[in-house]
Amino acid sequence: MQKRTLIAGALAAAALAAAGCGKKDAAQAKVLRIAVSPYQDAETIRTGTKPLAGMILERMRAAGINLERVEISVGTSYSAVAEALAAGSADAGFISAATYVLFDGEIDVLLSALRRAISIDSIDPRDWNGPEHERYTDALATHYRSVIVAGPSAGGRALLAKVQAGGKPAWEELSALSWSAMSPASASGYLYPSLWLKEKYGRQLSDLPHLSQADSYTTSMARLASGQADVAVAYAHIRINSEKRWQSKLGGTAPIWEQTGIVGITGPIFNDTVSVSRKSALMKDGKVRDALADALIAIGRTPEGLSALKILGHKGYARVKSEDYGPERRVRDAMRKSR
């Protein structure tokens, strides 16, 4: 009898605990937890995104979503934010496209950030080396590209001349040159150029005997300007961003448009994403997902919203689907096979 009483008591306690957890989960479900990747230092992002939390809350309430508040936190790394989404400890997060595809079995992509487009998006290098060089436009894009830039060294000029004449350099010619790249975690500074080489030559950046890793794109372009590197890999608008500093700070002896040329262009690289947790009780409701997406898209169309998004480097948002990320998955799979 005593044993039955103890068991009954234990079951009752468990039921009460479960009921308590249910109430706690229900209360927590009224808070939208958004995690942001560390694009800048945490305090800068926290301060800059304070208005954004209020804007999201206001628009989601107007859409009929009963929220108490929106909390925005900053992750210690890109992967830390994705891990929080996978675990359900964050409902939504701002993460890179490359990070999304690493966790796409546990999280869903909702939106792609928009950034300013540039005037050239061709994969033919000769289109980039004509009289009209690339520039920013007023249009917005969900992707950018990585480019292989030849510099003013003898090796760089010879490579550019061959590509301009319509020739394809041999692997031996490329491997004889000095290359500057970013860390292997960089999409435009390593991953996509590596895939470009793999698709065209069956090799990758790590197979180049004269490859140097740079700590920043500024360092990479300075190496190119000085002739320490014959070739550099970078995001497609690198020459626009480096134009003013090319001669004054980077070491160029003539305008960047005269001293450099594009010899390769990768496939499209998606901008940052807004992704959501599959484990989040809040995000299991399609109406909540739609309301969040609509809120961010609308926020990105107002001057006040753009001001709040400036800290993230975003110019607005567009809806995307999982299927749009095939190129990102090919990069992921190619890199996994190479390890």
φ and ψ of 138, to 5 deg: -85, -10
* Confidence (pLDDT) at 210: 98
Of the candidates 146, 144, 198, 207, the residue with the CA atom closest to the CA atom of residue 179:
207
Place of tokens 């990102």: 328
Q: Look at the pTM and tell me if it is higher than 0.85.
A: no
* Confidence (pLDDT) at 334: 74
- Please state the rounded mean pLDDT for residues 308-316: 90
For the chain, the domain total comes to 2
In a domain, 8, yes or no: no
In a domain, 334, yes or no: no
* Confidence (pLDDT) at 76: 84
Q: What is the domain-level CATH number for residue 32?
A: 3.40.190.10
d(CA 150, CA 159) in angstroms, rounded, equals 7
Regarding whether 100 and 36 lie in a shared domain, the answer is: yes
* Confidence (pLDDT) at 339: 59
Q: What is the gyration radius of the CA atoms in the chain, in angstroms?
A: 24
DSSP line for 137-183: EEEEESEE-EEEEE-SSHHHHHHHHHHHTT----HHHHHTS-EEE--
* Confidence (pLDDT) at 185: 67
Regarding whether 179 and 316 lie in a shared domain, the answer is: no
φ and ψ of 297, to 5 deg: -65, -45
What is the domain range of residue 105? Answer: 28-114+271-325
Higher pLDDT, 299 or 22: 299
Regarding whether 265 and 136 lie in a shared domain, the answer is: yes
Say whether pLDDT at 18 is over 70.
no
Of the candidates 127, 37, 100, 29, the residue with the CA atom closest to the CA atom of residue 311:
37
230-273 per-position pLDDT tens digit: 999 999 999 999 999 999 999 999 999 999 999 999 998 989 99
- Residues above pLDDT 70, as percent of the chain: 90
* Confidence (pLDDT) at 10: 40
In a domain, 3, yes or no: no
- Please state the rounded mean pLDDT for residues 282-290: 97
64-97 per-position pLDDT tens digit: 999 999 999 998 887 889 999 999 999 999 998 9
